[in-house]
Amino acid sequence: MHVTVVGLSHKTAPVEQREKATLADRGARELMNALVAHESVAEAVALSTCNRTEIYAVVRDPLEAEPLILDALVDHTRIGRDELDCARYTRRDERATSQLFRVVSSLDSMVVGESEIQGQVRAAWDRAREEGAAGPILNQLFRRALEVGKRVRSETRISAGPSSVSTVAVNVACDAFRELSGRSVLVIGAGKMAEGTMVNLVERGAQDVVVINRTVTTARALAARVGGRGGGFADLDAELAAADIVISSTNAPHPVLMAEHLQPIMGTRPDRPLVVIDISVPRDVDPGVRDIPGVVLHDIDDLEQVVEANMNGRRREALHGERVVHEAVDAFAEWRSGLAASPAIRGLRDRAEEIRRGELQRMEGVWDSLSDADRERLEALTRSIVNKLLHEPTVRARAAVREAEGLRHLESLQHLFGLERSA
């Protein structure tokens, strides 16, 4: 069995393509169930964040299964096959393992060291387990990945400084105005990203914070944590007219702020600029908003330029993180190798035990004069002989699967001892 990942990310696709490939909870569940219904796909986990959509799978034949994964992405998202083929990447076995370990360690993030990704990976894994799409190999892979992520964060200073997209968004807001204390800030959305943004805003001096969400009670509960106000989308126009900074982070599948909606509002405040920061994928804000006089729009790709300016220190820390990942990839490969060898080894030991017991039973009539103590000694002797004979083949079989010809050696072992007949 092989581990494979097929996906696209901020490194291979602009936000216009990434937003088409995003998977909401229901879509992710449907995609995973569709994949594991195929005989060639044994396990699957769908990971979708603002900067990537990746499908991790355990497959028998990567050449057969990978086109199925691509078809599933096209069927369950809004991205077309041509767009996907231009932006996607495919990695197998150790490279697929490395990809997940680097993702969960935030080494592959737009903001290296960002803190949200571990929770997003855990949520994707939990969803796969709920659907029965994750099995023994991906469960082990994702469990180890989360351990690697924790280790990288604890052993390096990779998170020093701004460590999330929401933090960078607040930095952009601060750069636009000398201070936040006298500015009105509007946060659209009440999820974890919006919550992180709001906390950062308050820490940087914001006092007039308004949260708008489709569920008013959720908006009010979140805003109450910092002494702000919460409301619903019916209040959006009035709050936009009063706002100096808008930070939008919802899970909406379509824009919630259109140019034709914002333009007349800006007409009522010609001398007051508005900074709009869209940190959602799919985007919350219509790109046409950029063309409205007085509006400065930053989307998630724009934030990457801000991140780049403060990356040197993190890159040095990331080098140590890469070494941690490399060690973990080797350890997982060794675990998988042992897993691959286990059926052959188990079959060999079962066959030897069958022969040992059969010979003892065959001689039972000849040894009717043996005492119980003699029988126990004979049992221990024959078992010891079998264990010693099989020790070296067992060690070599486990080592062989880590070599290029490893599977061929296992097949030879099964053929020589007739183990394929009992498989």
- The 3-state DSSP class for residue 410 equals helix
Q: Please answer whether residues 95 and 7 qualify as being in contact, where contact means their C-beta atoms are separated by less than 8 angstroms.
A: no
Bond into 282 cis (ω within 30): yes
pLDDT of residue 354: 86
Task: Using CB atoms within 10 Å of the CB of residue 339, give its burial: 0 to 12 exposed, 13 to 18 middle, 19+ buried.
Answer: middle
Q: Where are the beta strands (DSSP E) in 78-220?
A: 89-92, 184-188, 208-212
17: left (phi over 0), alpha (psi -120 to 50) or beta: alpha
> What is the pLDDT at residue 45?
97
Q: What was the pLDDT predicted at 167? A: 73
Task: Check 42, 50, 295, 348 and give the catalytic one.
Answer: 50
**pTM summary value:** 0.64
Nearest-angstrom CA–CA distance, 300 and 14: 10
| Model pLDDT, residue 423 | 45
Angle between helices 372-400 and 406-416 (to 10 degrees): 150
CA-based max dimension of the chain: 110
Is 50 among the catalytic positions?
A: yes
Regions of the chain where pLDDT drops below 70? 159-164, 304-315, 337-342, 398-411, 420-423
d(CA 47, CA 34): 15
Give one DSSP letter per residue of 341-382, joined into a string. Answer: HHHHHHHHHHHHHHHHHHHHHHTTTTTTT--HHHHHHHHHHH
What domains are there in the chain, each with its CATH number? Answer: 2-160 (3.30.460.30), 165-308 (3.40.50.720), 334-421 (no CATH)
Alpha carbons within 13 angstroms on the beta-carbon side of residue 59 total: 25
| CB-based contact 166:200 (threshold 8 Å) | yes
Q: What one-character-per-residue DSSP string does 147-168 give? A: HHHHHHHHHS-TTSS--SHHHH
Predicted pLDDT of residue 302: 74
Residue type for 174, please?
C
pLDDT (tens digit, 9 = 90+) per residue, 235-256? 898 889 888 888 888 888 888 8
| pLDDT for the residue 303 | 73
Distance separating alpha carbons of residues 187 and 209, to the nearest angstrom: 7
